[in-house]
Structure 1
């Protein structure tokens, strides 16, 4: 427990560093565990992901913060906050103990077998922590820090992605930074406690003015006086979970072409700035011990928020929702920090794998300016004021918002909270929708290849697209046909040819902005076997179109679908996704009940028909990446 507290507090300090305007740390933390995966060696480690232009600065920052802990230790408020966080995490696991997934248990048992690590179970761990944590003193933790953070037995490992203009520091340079930090004057950590409440004043509560129910699906729908729609689906799938999502039509499609370059990441910019009166770092501290989180998002066609909480922290989550909608923050330092992080990700996109994904995205959108890869130029064009004003516009009116709650709650008991924090949100009666900017896949057969990287491998993608007469049945047949194709490709490309480790085949359909579908087939292989394996994949497609599925494969698909439905139907996220899908596309939720009948009615004819309809051999994209020629 002491080591967990120590690592958690140092990780929190690194998180604070990240939010400084010019910090090169994109991700970082600390903790105890096995040394480089060696089960026989334990170590206390710090780790970080750094921007390419700030490697030495990032290393210095991480070493300095670690040395600060070794010399001066932690302060009382940090320890109490970390105790509260750790206990809240254990309490959530304890409350869900009767519904723990098998994979979580088997992982612990495997670890026990390999290392003889004790597996007491949460039934013991949580009561034990409740008993022991209050007695752990600051002196005890700081003494442990001195034992774990030593001047000897220190290993530094640095890996740098090869890219033009980026040189990895030498061993001598790293040792010089290490020694310089050891000799530097480092002041103790200081923080000022912020005791202000999340909301400076309570919002004026609205009222539920209309109620509908879908008894067969267990759904209640409310209409609030401010126009907001609330969808409630109480469940008993998890004892300590409520999932939340809100959405409204519009998204980045509402940005003009001239403003798109300046505000395409408005949700990331404003979401990383904190909310209301509080910077992100302060907000994180205030939420210590609360199992409640929320973040805003803006997609091409919708904007909204997503979150989750423990039932006892529902009010906190609703307060956060209220702040992100009614009182978003504009913070220059957070903006600079966010741009620094994006620049780091842009530099990482130079890898062959990332370049292949980006090339496919650009190709499928025919180079549309709203579907461009992340680059340093795109990051530099972002503008805080434009992004902030766009965010305000997207969230200023909840009249056309839908708020969805799925999880462990009672409808009548949460009504006052919904009326207070959602009913009290601003509304002017605005109704609008997304705009169609004409982003379409290319027509005909398009084949493209390029060379990048030195690894002896090629990446291949085949993409089929087209319009679709959307219905529950057509969507189901598309997915079922793709599942059959996936089996056929795996058997031919991997098991018979031995040409790939794995092959992916997936399908998706959409109603907005125009009804359509997309089927992606991808695999990695020996460059010398690309033509052979592509030809084999196309033969499988021809066979499925001409002969249809085998009875064996058809039965496999039905068995898998029934099993998936059994588990999905008792998953809160599954219901959240389904509700958003049906309501955002204006489809009757009652159609969801027809899925078992679709599974039972699946036959060879429907799959064959879908293969001929959606695997159009006169309309697909083929993209191949080869390694660069060796000189």
Structure 2
């Protein structure tokens, strides 16, 4: 809280403030306030559309009045619904337990192949985070077929074989749970956030989506309908166009990362999504991460009675994934256009590096180089030139894809400033290659990164992410242990060597997003 400049109030203070607010409050007073709130003119009608409605305001009002004439029947009485996924069979048996004492983490291996990683914490009272990693994610998909990751949430919204998503919300209304599906580089991940007393329910929900997904077509249709206008939303701003296209471009058009066209969204079917997801979700290896306000015993028991009780799966799989290629350098920037403000554009430049495990310490040196690059750009653009915008610098060294990583710099700027931005970046990169930084600049770059890592390590989200795959890839455990001491070891000479290795002008890939007009 101190690091975030937050002021903390105690539970006693919160109670006193509440009691003061409700002192003497009566139900009749609340009722009158509600009645007053719903008085006045209205309703107000708001319509957002990418194209002008024929007939304008009169047409909208006419449609509204026609709708008002439609008779509305009262809803049918809701039938009693029970949660049908509390039992998955005989609880799984633990065949191995291993302590990782320095990280306060426990590895559990069940007889059906499921692996469980548990890290009890007290960072946040009543918070337990769960991630169920299944299969190998994008590694298991073909590189020449458009990924259906954009529609993956249709699995969750489609509910389960014995109960719809809407009825799930009703029958589990008194419980805290979540269900989200993400398609990652190395796994399909079902995740949720719960509280200690609802961990059993959380595990039942996620297990049910693996054991008995319904694949209801109406859920896919809702997402597909929203996708019909998604391109117009992206095209309204320079940032939208970049976020839509950048991932595909940085992966040289690999269809696992490209965003689908309007036609591809319109032509996609629920069977296409099922073809990409159903096989891995039903039979691929399972790894569970549980982090938060729980115990090793409770977490193990909850998984034993759910995922641990499912039929046996393969223990570990390592697919022969299609390689990932960074785009070739560009003499002039790739150009994309947007339909938004005429004074809005984005310049972006990226240099390829390599994956994390090729040289973990070199990856940490590159990260500090990225922080130095950010400082230099801020000083040049904001302090020297007096610009009101701030540059963004990112660095990515893949844990999954051999040889893939990059450092990038970008800025949102008026179109007339793009050439100067690319020139400034090239000059800063050249100086970083040729000349060592001083100790003051090294400290100003390295220390904020260390502080961000330290802050992240006292949060459950950090550990939920970092502990993934640690049971089957011990290098990831070493990466967790070494991130702070390894960053502290980075010297000015290391930063210069990283710049010489990465920031070469003949390796830079550039893109600009400019107004359509």
Same fold judged by TM-score > 0.5? Answer: yes
- The reply to whether residue 378 of structure 1 matches residue 278 of structure 2 is no
Matching residue of 2:347? 460
- The DSSP-based 3-state class of the residue aligned with 1:507 is strand
> Are 1:219 and 2:111 an aligned pair?
no
Counterpart of 2:125?
A: 239
The Cα offsets for residues 439-496 of structure 1, whole Å up to 9 and x where unpaired, read as 4122233532355435123210101114356333122111111001100100001211
2:488 aligns to what? 600
Cα distance per residue 1:189-236 (max 9 Å; x no partner): 445144212416442211111111111111111110101111111111
Partner of 1:174: 60
One of 398, 401, 404 as aligned partner of 1:510: 398
Residues 273 and 279, structure 1, Cα contact 8 Å, conserved in 2: yes
Matched position secondary structure for 2:426: helix
Instruction: Write the distance in 1 (CA, Å) between the matches of 2:514 and 2:363.
Output: 34
Residue 573 and residue 362 in structure 1: after superposition, are their counterparts in 2 closer, same or farther (change >3 A)? closer
Q: Give the aligned partner of residue 438 of structure 2.
A: 550
Partner of 2:159: 274
SS of the residue corresponding to residue 587 of structure 1 reads helix
Is 1:152 equivalent to 2:36 in the alignment? no
Between Structure 1 and Structure 2, how many residues are aligned?
A: 512
Q: Report the Cα distance in structure 2 between the residues aligned to 1:201 and 1:272, rounded to whole angstroms.
A: 22
Q: Which structure carries more helix by proportion?
A: 1
Query: Given the superposition, is the C-alpha separation of residues 403 and 126 from structure 1 closer, same or farther in structure 2, using an over 3 Å criterion?
Result: farther
Distance in 1 (alpha carbons) for counterparts of 2:453 and 2:434: 30
Q: For 2:351, what is the secondary structure of its paired residue?
A: strand
State the match for 1:622 in structure 2: 510
What SS does structure 1 have at the residue aligned with 2:305? helix
Deviations 1:4-55 (A, max 9, x none): xxxxxxxxxxxxxxxxxxxxxxxxxxxxxxxxxxxxxxxxxxxxxxxxxxxx
Matched residue SS, 2:451:
helix
Unaligned runs of at least 5 residues, structure 1: 1-98, 109-118
Q: Of residues 242, 252, 267 in structure 2, which corresponds to 1:366?
A: 252
Residue 309 (structure 2) aligns with = 424
1:410 to 283, 286, 295: 295
Find the counterpart in structure 2 of residue 491 from structure 1.
Answer: 379
CA contact (8 A) 1:270 1:328 kept: yes
Choose between structure 1 and 2 for higher RCO, CA contacts under 8 A separated by at least 6 residues.
2
Cα deviation, 1:90-147, whole Å, max 9, x if unaligned, reads: xxxxxxxxx89966659x9xxxxxxxxxx996435788999999x979x987x87664
Cα 1:410–1:130 shift into 2, 3 Å = farther
1:286-435 equivalent positions in 2, closer than 5 A: 286-353=171-238, 354-397=240-283, 400-429=285-314, 431-435=316-320
| TM-score calculated relative to the size of structure 2 | 0.88
Residues of 2 paired with 1:212 and 1:131: CA distance? 54
> In 1, distance between residues paired with 2:23 and 2:135?
50
Q: What CA distance in whole angstroms lies between the structure 2 residues aligned with 1:542 and 1:299?
A: 35
What TM-score does the superposition give when structure 1 sets the normalisation length? 0.73
1:612 to 478, 482, 500: 500
The separation in 1 between residues aligned to 2:16 and 2:221, in whole angstroms, is: 45
Deviations 1:249-277 (A, max 9, x none): 4224434578x448555632212211242
